[in-house]
Chain A
Amino acid sequence: MSGGRLEGIDLVKRFGGLTAVDEVTVHTAPSEVTALIGPNGAGKTTLFQCLTGVERPDSGRVLLDGTDITRRSPDARARLGIGRTFQRLAVFATMTVADNLGVGAENRNSAPTLVRTGQLLLGILGFPVVDEKRHQRRVDEVIELLGLREVRDAPAGSLPTGTLRLVELGRALCHDPQVLLLDEPASGLDTTETRQLQRVLRDVTGSGVAVLLVEHDVDLVFDVADRVYAMAEGKLIAAGTVDEVRTHPAVLEAYLS
């Protein structure tokens, strides 16, 4: 898989008088875990939303492998290869785990809108336009990878938060993303699940995917991240390797004060 360089350049996002993200430039790189840390209200989530397309930045650009995607909708970005999970879960509660993952696998289609609409119309009339067998294989792979075999056919709405975080991760993985954006994936996970998550992250980056992690759990971040960005009050205060950021005076101050 090529690519996986997602860049946010000079991003600014204001809410009324508050500048939530102030001239922030970040990027991900293939086969790397990039982490974004910062205290509550630092602007991590807003930056994340600008990268995924949920929020539109007031100025600045978002590039995926050099292509400007600043004005693309979240679903268009997803079709281009950006996968994500949610801090507040957004699973399909009435569907089984396997179907949740299936939706992820089946919609990786970057054909133009007109072509996709045509395919949908054919689908309504019953023509098999989606190669369901192939997608099913991918779903089964990911289910094995995440250890979800036990709950494969359980409706997602009946499962605990920790499992659902893995389901969302699996949904994004089935999508074969080039860039994977994870919004606090470890919140609500127990120690075993967190270790499972670390293992999966290593697997994923091993296959060339770029991962961007927004996380409160600093231990997890320092364990898995290759590069770390630290934010405070909307601004980027430090960037570099784990060791550089861990000992950066501005980071220490932001976390201690």
Chain B
Amino acid sequence: MLALDYALAGLGLGAIAALSGVGVLLTYRLTGVFNMAHGAIAMIAAYLFWQCTAGWGLPVWLAALLVLAVASPGLGMLLERFVFRPLQRRFATPAESLVATIGLLVLLLGVAYVVWGPQTRHPAALVPENVVQWGSLTLHVDAFTDLGIVIAGTLALGIVLRLTALGTQIRAVVDRRDLAELSGVDADRVSAIGWSIGCVFASLTGILLAAQISLNPFGLTLLVLETFAIPVLAGLRSIPIAIATGIALGIAQSEMNLWSPANASLSSIWDALHANLPVVLLLVVLLVRNRLAEGGGDAGSATTFARRRAGAASNRRLAVQYALAAGAMILPLTFNSVHLRQAQEIPALGIIFVSIVAVTGYSGQISLGQAGYAGLGALFFAKASGGTPQIIALLVAALAAGVVGFATGYPAIRRRGLFLALTTFAVGAFVSRFVFAQPYFTNDVEVNRPSFFGLSLQGDRAFYLFELALLAFAFLVMFNLRNGALGRSLIAIRDSEDGARSVGVDVRVLKVLIFTVSAMLAGLGGALLAQQAQAFDPTAFDPLEASLPWFAVVVVFGADSAVAAVIGAGFLVLVNALTGQAGAYLIPIGLLAAFLGRLPGGAAELGRRTVDWLMTPTALMRRYTAAVPPSRPPLVLSDRGRLALARVRREQPASPAEGSARP
């Protein structure tokens, strides 16, 4: 039975959840972009608000005015001008826009982390707490104020969009930007307005939410990401459904306080459900819905940021690449023990990054939950290594991750683009919340470095060599995934699923397989990461702190190059080591990912182009010699041809310019 007082208590958070979901949905409707950075914008706004009030001592109303009426629209315009306008100008695919928003998310996380630090802040409340006792009921007036703000804001916007030309213009621009421009719509201005409105909604969410929960870079952002269930449930269309869902979510979560199972283990599951209701809803909604009505076409596959052609790299160039990479990987063996320990993260992370290349670069499926598989690998290795031989424990780890990968790959058969990206993210978040965050799984987990056949890998050098051996194995798998018939089939799926099906490529089996193999590799990498740290750290496998930034790193360095992925891992470790801050790498990676539209193919493509440029003289010579045929076959003319030639010669006697010869 619903209890009224619990329902009222849940109203406040429900209203904010609704606001958050409506913001994501509105941004999508107004700009055609599903903004993964919505939560990060909310978080930055909350920090700005905190800075204005607690930092500079401004009054709350002034701070709110500054953030909501100046900073947020400004940010929206900046985003439109510098990130999304260039993408839309060259008809970038929705997948590219999605990656740009992930880049933005990573960038903003990095900025908050570096500027304000990881510690938790408690900003002032925009709507002060106001409790009225009414008979036996406790009324939270502030919750009603929040709700009023949400409904009034959305209604006002809806009326403006319905009654003015702007609404039509926005729909036109989102639908067909080029046609809208041809009919005289200033598409840039219209998109800028769309982005500004989206940012204001995000900021309001952030400020209201920060007062309810505390504020730190990752926590608030993740909370907003989890409300993605709301726009998805509303089919990315209906605002009233979104508001209703948000409020229902808040009330349901509050009502769950009423009841608890007596059984202790059931009770802990219930508590986890209670605390993570949005994540559960997100996953369930994504698995149940079999289609998202995506405006402006399907987000498609990730072809656009994986540029390498099959068989384009010559064997010699590959050999040089591998030799250089192998040389660089051996180098850390000469380091002192502190640096060697830092370098040990590179092969472990490298294997995880390579697993992202397998699924995203080679077969074009966006996977945002890779840290989930890695964490499962780490956890299962720790659990299994107690009683069994280490190598079997490692196998168990990979298999456990593979099983979840298989389970994710199965729905991936029918899902593409944005829908698939969200599903993989939801799986990662689900695993993180229901496995890594549960003491039942992670209490007294001990991770030891393995030993094989009496050969101990306790020493840092020995362990590093062991990691390199596994990395080499990962490369072998990647080589086989890239080359030969298998590689061609995967790229065929990436380039054109219909085309691949038409010649009998079993798209379903291959998609599931690539997800499974990728998850197994990630699990292996995760197990190594835990062995390196000799501990299981759940935050190392967080969907927000790990999955999304890792994805951004791989895309920035070149989603279709395994070597580039390991270089990316090296970059991450190096920046962390140099700055001594775990979040510092987020800024350059986020910047590059947000502007990836200007460099499709990432750093790997840049490297390839540079090598091509350096090789130009040789290549030109080769092409020149190839272009001059040794002997030309004689020209054979038919009777008609000879006649025509004779006529041409008669009419135009040896004159270069046509027409001038005529009298």
Which of A's residues lie within 8 Å of B, judged by CB?
A: 52, 54, 73-76, 78-79, 83-86, 90-96, 99, 102-104, 106-109, 113, 116-117, 120-121, 123-126, 128, 130, 132, 135, 155, 168, 171-172, 174-175
Contact B492–A123 (Cβ < 8 Å): no
Residue pair B509, A117 in contact (C-beta under 8 Å): yes
Residue among A86, A93, A96 with the highest chain B CB neighbour number at 10 A: A93
Please provide the chain B residues from 589 to 626 with a CB less than 8 Å away from any CB of chain A in the complex.
none
Q: Can you offer 22 A-B residue contacts whose CB atoms are under 8 A?
A: A52-B502, A75-B501, A75-B507, A79-B504, A79-B506, A84-B502, A90-B498, A90-B502, A92-B499, A95-B311, A95-B491, A99-B310, A116-B509, A120-B509, A120-B513, A123-B484, A126-B476, A126-B480, A155-B309, A171-B499, A171-B502, A175-B504
Contact of B499 among A90, A109, A132 (CB under 8 A): A90
Known contacts A120-B486, A123-B480; decide if A94 and B309 are in contact (CB<8 Å): yes
Docked Cα-Cα span, A109 to B508, in Å, equals: 15
**Also in contact, A130 and B502, with CB within 8 A (given A75-B507, A99-B310, A117-B513):** no
Closest chain B residue, CB of each to CB of A177: B503
Interface string of B494-538 (1 = CB under 8 A from A): 111011111111111110010001000000000000000000000
Specify which of B480, B504, B513 is in contact with A78 (CB 8 Å cutoff).
B504
Contact of A91 with B502 in the complex, beta carbons under 8 Å? no
Q: Is B93 engaged at the interface, CB distance under 8 Å to the other chain?
A: no
Q: Is the CB of B488 within 8 A of A103?
A: yes
Query: In this complex, what residue of B is CB-closest to A135?
Result: B485
Whether A125 and B480, one on each chain, are in contact in the complex, defined by CB atoms closer than 8 angstroms, is: yes
Give the residue name and chain of the A residue nearest to B486 (CB): A123
Q: Return the 6 tightest CB-CB contacts between A and B, nearest first.
A: A90-B499, A78-B504, A92-B495, A79-B504, A130-B485, A107-B504
CB-CB under 8 A from B489, the residues of chain A are 103, 106-107
- Asked if B506 contacts A130 (CB within 8 A), the reply is no
Q: Are B480 and A103 in contact (CB under 8 A)?
A: no
Residues of chain B within 8 A of A92, CB atoms compared: 491-492, 495-496, 499-500
In this assembly, does B303 line the interface, its C-beta being within 8 Å of a C-beta of chain A?
yes
Residues on B facing A (Cβ under 8 Å) = 303, 307-312, 476-477, 479-481, 484-486, 488-489, 491-492, 494-496, 498-510, 513, 517
Residues from chain A with a CB closer than 8 A to the CB of B479 are: 126
Contacts of A107 in B (CB 8 A): 485, 489, 503-506
Instruction: Give chain A residues whose Cβ lies under 8 Å from the Cβ of B312.
Output: 155
**Cα distance A68–B508 when bound, in Å?**
21
A20 to chain B, nearest CB (A): 19
- 16 further contact pairs, Cβ within 8 A, besides A54-B498, A96-B311, A99-B310: A75-B506, A76-B504, A78-B501, A78-B504, A84-B502, A90-B502, A92-B492, A103-B500, A108-B503, A108-B504, A109-B504, A120-B486, A120-B509, A123-B486, A125-B477, A126-B479
User: Smallest CB–CB gap between B24 and chain A, Å?
Assistant: 31
Cross-interface CB contact of A175 among B310, B503, B508, cutoff 8 Å: B503
Complex: how many Å from CA A155 to CA B303?
Answer: 14
Q: Which residues of B contact A93 (CB under 8 A)?
A: 303, 495-496
A-chain residues with CB within 8 Å of residue B496 when the two chains form the complex:
90-93
B501 to A123, Cβ gap below 8 A? no
Which of chain A's residues have a CB closer than 8 A to the CB of B517?
124
Q: Given A92-B492, A93-B495, A120-B486 in contact, is the A103-B509 Cβ separation under 8 Å?
A: no
Assess whether A74 is in contact with B501, with CB atoms less than 8 Å apart: yes
**Are B481 and A124 in touch, CB under 8 angstroms?**
yes
User: Which chain A residue has the least Cβ–Cβ distance from B503?
Assistant: A104
Note all chain A residues with C-beta closer than 8 A to B484.
123, 128, 130, 132
Q: Which residues of A contact B485 (CB under 8 A)?
A: 102, 106-107, 123, 130, 132, 135
Taking the nearest CB of chain B, how far is it from the CB of A116, in angstroms? 6
Given A102-B485, A117-B513, A130-B484, check contact A94 B495 (CB 8 Å). yes
Residue of B481, B488, B503 most packed against chain A (CB within 10 A): B503
Q: CB distance A73 to B499 under 8 Å?
A: no
Smallest Cβ-Cβ distance to B500: which chain A residue: A103
| Contact partners of A174 in chain B: CB under 8 A | 503
- Do A120 and B510 touch (CB < 8 A)? yes
From B505, which residue of chain A is reached at the shortest CB distance? A107
* Closest residue of B by beta carbon distance from A175: B503
Return chain B residues, CB-CB under 8 Å to A171. Answer: 499, 502-503
Which residues of chain B are within 8 angstroms of A73 by Cβ–Cβ distance?
501, 508
Given the complex of chains A and B, what is the CA–CA distance between A52 and B307 in angstroms?
30
**Cα distance A125–B56 when bound, in Å?**
61
Shortest CB-to-CB span from A223 to chain B, Å, is 21
Q: Say yes or no: B310 contacts A95, CB within 8 Å.
A: yes
Given contacts A86-B499, A175-B503, contact A106 B513 (CB under 8 A): no
Bound Cα distance from A120 to B517, whole angstroms:
11
> For residue A172, which residues in chain B have a CB less than 8 angstroms away from its CB?
502-503
CA distance A161 to B452 in the complex (A): 58
Could you tell me the distance between the alpha carbons of A49 and B493 in the complex, rounded to whole angstroms?
19
Chain B residue numbers with a CB within 8 Å of A126 are 476, 479-480
Distance (whole angstroms) from the CB of B264 to the closest CB of chain A: 42
Chain B residue at minimum C-beta to C-beta distance from A110: B504
Closest to A98 in B: B311
CB distance from A160 to the nearest CB of B (A): 18
In Å, the complex CA distance between A73 and B504 comes to 10
Closest to A91 in B: B499
Which residues of A have CB within 8 Å of B505?
75, 103, 107
Expressed in whole angstroms, the minimum distance between the Cβ of B484 and any Cβ of chain A is 6
The reply to whether B303 and A94 contact each other, CB–CB distance below 8 Å, is: yes
Nearest opposing residue in chain A for B512, CB measure: A117
Find the residue from B303, B486, B494 having the highest chain A CB count within 10 A: B486
Q: How far is the CA of A131 from the CA of B230 in the complex (A)?
A: 51
Residues of A near B309 (CB, < 8 A) are: 94-96, 155
Q: Whole-angstrom distance between the alpha carbons of A106 and B310 in the complex?
A: 15
Say yes or no: B492 contacts A113, CB within 8 Å: no
CB pair A113–B509 under 8 Å, yes or no, is yes
CB distance from B312 to the nearest CB of A (A): 8
Contacts of A52 in B (CB 8 A): 502
Q: Given the interface contacts A94-B310, A120-B510, A175-B503, does A103 sit within 8 Å of B486 by beta carbon?
A: no
Q: Which residues of A contact B311 (CB under 8 A)?
A: 95-96, 99
- CB pair B499–A102 under 8 Å, yes or no, is no
The answer to whether A95 touches B488 (Cβ under 8 A) is yes
Find the B residue at minimum CB distance from A102: B488
Q: Which residue of B lies closest to A155 (CB)?
A: B309
Residues of chain A within 8 A (CB-CB) of B507 are: 75
A94 contact set on B, CB distance < 8 A: 303, 307-310, 491, 494-495
Whether A103 and B492, one on each chain, are in contact in the complex, defined by CB atoms closer than 8 angstroms, is yes
* Interfacial chain A residues near B504, Cβ < 8 Å: 75-76, 78-79, 107-109, 175
Out of A78, A99, A168, which one reaches B488, CB within 8 Å?
Answer: A99
**Whole-angstrom CA separation of A52 from B504 in the bound complex:** 11
